[in-house]
Structure 1
């Protein structure tokens, strides 16, 4: 099996589990492709076999690896989305971060996860993405997001106005600090912290969530992901900040932003006993009574 590995920095208490991961993969005669910057970070901390191959972009692993292991939190998974793009490479997330909705394999479960991977005892969960077009091609080749597109004010403390249309029908002019267009996957991220609903991953929807709107009657709205969402921003400043997952871009008031469903999906590897409802119950501590 050929496996790519991407990761971010981790605390010292994860050194032993990550060493165990590389040792187990080495025993199984796996050809490893390690992201070049992560390899430089690993070398002083973990013993990695010398016959690994390095990569820096998705074309160097496309059609060459069976899966990509992400080491980090949900932010690492989002980085991996930009790496695998539409290649169809499934992602397995090992959580060395905090909450970990997407990267949900704990250090205690690494051995079980590797066994399940090689014995093919896992499920592939396909997650929809959104695609963004602008009149000035602001986002280039990475005009997609697994979690959300967020529009923020940038050079001013004043609120911005975001004129929003759904399939050319006027929805609202949001007077707020910003606006989030989230996928079902992104509904448990920034949108949730701004009062948006939790949407199950298989739902064919977008969630439109305002950020601190200056109107108590404004609420999040769920629309079909077959819709085209069109945004036009205005404010005291002519420049605004647009964020696709963890990637930020400058947008000016002349840009019109159009959001549609992306033509490809991301594959996430889930262990057989894992499911979305169990994840949100455990991560959000539903039903936990500290009196017990």
Structure 2
């Protein structure tokens, strides 16, 4: 079996579990390719890993059976951008914080490796948001698992986002920004801005304003077959766009269209992994100190 591993920094408490993971992989003669940033981190911190295969760009990722993300949800979002249209299944080990997407705790790494070897897991297909523009925005990686966001670049002036749904005018959002979220991203930035939680396989997008000037403007759930066109006006003549963990500043001449990608992210889940359990656990639903 061939696997790739991408990761970020992790604290010392996770170190023994990571070292044991590489020991298990070597013992089972599993071929491993590491992302260059993760390989550099391991070498800098003296963590032995036996792997001599490295990838620095998504196109250098070898023909892996699966990709392991070592970090938090942000690391898994980066991993999905590495996989892209190849749709290699990915699994997240949570050595980060919240862990809505990266749901395997470090102490269960050995169980995870065994489950992957014998096929005791499920594949969770997640829809992606894709961005079309008159310029190359993200080096060809124009898709995201969580959301696409437009925000102002300065500290005072709001921006105006003229929004069209299937070429019909929807609204001019006078706000700090606007989020177009997938169901997967509904528990992220959109949620913190008052958006609803959607179960992962809902066939919808959420259009969520960020601190709108008009308080009666609310998040809107639309079908994911919709094409959303955005025109942005700003006093500074530029604004910030973000696609999951990637961002850049663009000017008002940038044309933006949001639609559902024609491929999916394939997340590996353990058989006892449940979105509803994760929801209750991570958001503390039902938790009452009086009970």
With the length of structure 2 as denominator, give the TM-score of the two structures. 0.97
Structure 2 counterpart of 1:83: 82
Q: How does 1:140-151 map to 2 (within 5 A)?
A: 140-151=139-150
Q: Deviations over 1:213-253 (max 9, x none)?
A: 01111110000110100010112110000000111122211
- Aligned residue for 1:192, secondary structure, equals helix
Q: How does 1:98-109 map to 2 (within 5 A)?
A: 98-109=97-108
Give distance in 2, aligned partners of 1:112 and 1:263.
Answer: 33
Which blocks of at least 5 consecutive residues in structure 1 are unaligned? none
Per-residue deviation at 1:61?
2.5
Structure 1 counterpart of 2:121: 122
Which blocks of at least 5 consecutive residues in structure 2 are unaligned? none
Structure 2 counterpart of 1:271: 270
Per-residue deviation at 1:57?
2.0
2:138·2:246 contact (CA, 8 Å) conserved in 1?
no
Q: Deviations over 1:152-194 (max 9, x none)?
A: 0013511111111100111111110000000111111100010
Aligned length: 290
Structure 2 counterpart of 1:6: 6
Structure 2 counterpart of 1:131: 130
1:6·1:70 contact (CA, 8 Å) conserved in 2?
yes
1:31·1:52 contact (CA, 8 Å) conserved in 2?
no
RMSD: 1.2
Q: Deviations over 1:243-276 (max 9, x none)?
A: 0011112221122210011111011000011121
Give distance in 1, aligned partners of 2:116 and 2:153.
Answer: 44
Kindly indicate whether residue 61 of structure 2 is the aligned counterpart of residue 61 of structure 1: yes
Give distance in 2, aligned partners of 1:135 and 1:40.
Answer: 36
Deviates more, 1:149-158 or 1:120-129: 149-158
Give distance in 2, aligned partners of 1:255 and 1:37.
Answer: 31
With the length of structure 1 as denominator, give the TM-score of the two structures. 0.96
1:155·1:239 contact (CA, 8 Å) conserved in 2?
no
Structure 1 counterpart of 2:46: 45
Per-residue deviation at 1:139?
3.3
Structure 2 counterpart of 1:178: 177
Kindly indicate whether residue 156 of structure 2 is the aligned counterpart of residue 157 of structure 1: yes
Give distance in 2, aligned partners of 1:58 and 1:179.
Answer: 29
